[in-house]
Amino acid sequence: MSILHILNGDSTALSFEETGLEGDVLIWREVFSEGPLEENTTSADFWKKRSEWICETFKETPENYQQSVLDQIAKLDDSYDEINLWFEFDLHCQANLLGIMTYLKQKTDLSAPATYLICPNDYPGKDDFRGMGELTSEELVYLYDTIRVQLSEIDFVLAAEAWAVYIRRDAEKLKDFLNNTTFWGSLHLLKPALSAQLKRLPVNDKGLNYIEQRLVDIYNYGYKTWPGILSVFWEKEKIYGMGDMEINIYLQKLIRKGLITI
C-alpha cells in the first residue's frame, strides 16, 4: 500500500524521520494564514500569486519557492492509497489544513485515497504544548496510534465551505459561519482557530488589527527588542501559531507607522 504523510513543517520532519512509519513525506512550507488566497487551490494562477507574494514578503527567490513548495506539492499528483495529514491546533496550521483539504477535494476522487488527520492540541505531561516540532519520534508515533482519525466526505465538504469563507476575510461572513455551523466532524480544532481569525479581522480606531495592537502593547509594556516581543507574543497568543517571519510582517508595518522602533 502506498502512503503519503503531509507534515506541517520542517521541525516536525526532523523527528518524523526516526518514527519508522511507512510512507513518503511531503513537507508543507506554505503559510495560508497570510497573503493572497483564492477558492481554487489547484489553479496555476493561485500558485503564481502565492509565489509572487512569498518572494516579495520574505525576500525569497522563485527558484527556491519552486523547490521548497511546489516540488513538494507535486507529490500529490502521484497515486496514493492513504494520506496522513499532520497538522496542529493553531490558525497557521488550520488554515493550511483547510487549503490542503480543499486542494484534495478539487483534485482527487475522495473514494481514494483514504485520508487521515493527526491533529493534537495537547500532549500528556506537556503543560505548555506548542506543537509537534517539540516531540520525539516516539511521541509522534504515540499520536499516530491514539488520535489519528479518518476524514469523511462530510469533513471535506465542511473544509471547503470554511475555506470559501476564510479567504474572503469578511468578519460578518465568518461570524455567521461560526454561529451557524453546529457540526464540526473530525475538524474539532477548526472553530477556535477560526475564532482567532475573526478576532484579528476588524481594525480599531488606530487602524490596527488585534495582532498589531497586541504587538504595540507588548512593546509599550517594555519589551523593546525583536526577540523579546516574539517571546511574549508566542507565550500569550499561541493560537495564531505564527513563526518569526510572519510576526515580522506586522512588526515592519508598525515600524513604518512609527509606532515602534526596534
- Reported as a single tens digit per residue, the pLDDT across 139-168 is 999 999 999 999 999 999 999 999 999 999
Report pLDDT for 130. 86
Q: Are 101 and 112 in contact (CB under 8 A)?
A: no
Mean model confidence pLDDT for the chain: 95
Query: Distance between CA 250 and CA 229 in Å, rounded?
Result: 12
pLDDT of residue 113: 84
Is the CA virtual torsion 117, 6, 31, 44 positive or negative?
A: negative
pLDDT at residue 127, as a whole number? 87
- Give dist(CA 27, CA 201) in Å, integer: 29
> For residue 109, what pLDDT is reported?
58
Query: How crowded is residue 135: how many other Cβ atoms within 10 Å of its Cβ?
Result: 20
Question: What average pLDDT does this structure show over 188-201?
Answer: 97
Q: How far apart are CA 44 and CA 48, in angstroms?
A: 6
Q: Which of 59, 72, 150, 56 is nearest to 110 (CA)?
A: 150
Listed residue (29, 7, 39, 6) closest to 162, CA to CA: 39
Q: Is the model's pLDDT at 112 over the cut of 70?
A: no
* 37-70 per-position pLDDT tens digit: 999 999 999 999 999 999 999 999 999 999 999 9
pLDDT band at 78 (very low <50, low <70, confident <90, very high): confident
Name the more confident of 30 and 108: 30
Nearest to 197 by CA among 236, 176, 170: 170
In one-letter notation, the amino acid at residue 113 is P
Which of 144-156 are b and which e, b meaning 16 or more Cβ less than 10 Å from the residue's Cβ?
beeeeeebeeebb
Q: Please say whether the beta carbons of 94 and 101 come within 8 A.
A: no
Assigned C-alpha cell, 99:
487549503
pLDDT greater than 60 at residue 110: no
Mean pLDDT, rounded, for 129-144: 95
Q: Predicted confidence band at 111 (pLDDT cuts at 50, 70, 90)?
A: low
